[in-house]
Amino acid sequence: MAQSKFPMQPAAAGLDKVVARALRKAPPEQTPLLAWPLACGSAVAARTHALDFSDGILRVEVPDTGWRRELQALAPRYIATLNRYAAHNVRRVEFVVAGRKPATGASSNTSSNKRTRSKRA
C-alpha cells in the first residue's frame, strides 16, 4: 500500500477548524450566539434559543424550569466550548424560562419594600 503524502486526520478536528474560521468572520458580539448550537449539541439546540450576549453573559431561552436546572449543571462545559469559538470571553450562561420576564433590580426592590411595610404595620 502506498504511503499518502497527506496523513489521515479525524474529521472532527478538520470540521472544528472550519467552524472556528467561519465564526471568526462573524461580528465578535455575535459569536457566542452563533456558537451556542455547537456548544450544546443539536438535541438541546432544538429546544433552546440563544437570546443575547452582553458583558460576558450569554442569555439562553429554555422551555421550562426542568430544562433550566439540567442545563445549569452543564453550564461549565458549555462555557468552555463557547470560549473556544467566541471572540469575547463568555463568563456565564443565564438560562431564561420561555414566557417569563427576567427579574430586575426594581422588581426585587419592590418586593423587599412590601415586606418592610408589612413589618411596620
Question: Is the pLDDT assigned to residue 119 strictly greater than 50?
Answer: no
Instruction: Give the confidence band of 72 by pLDDT, cuts at 50, 70, 90.
Output: very high
CATH for 40-100 is: 3.30.300.180
- Among 79, 76, 60, 77, which Cα is nearest to 68's? 60
pTM, two decimal places: 0.71
Give Cβ neighbours of residue 1 (< 8 Å, ≥ 6 apart): none
CA distance 55 to 57: 6
Task: For residue 34, give the 3-state DSSP assignment.
Answer: helix
Residue position matching grid coordinates 504511503:
3
Query: Interhelix angle for 31-40 vs 65-85, to 10°?
Result: 110
Question: Is the pLDDT assigned to residue 110 strictly greater than 80?
Answer: no
Q: What are the structural domain ranges in the chain?
A: 40-100
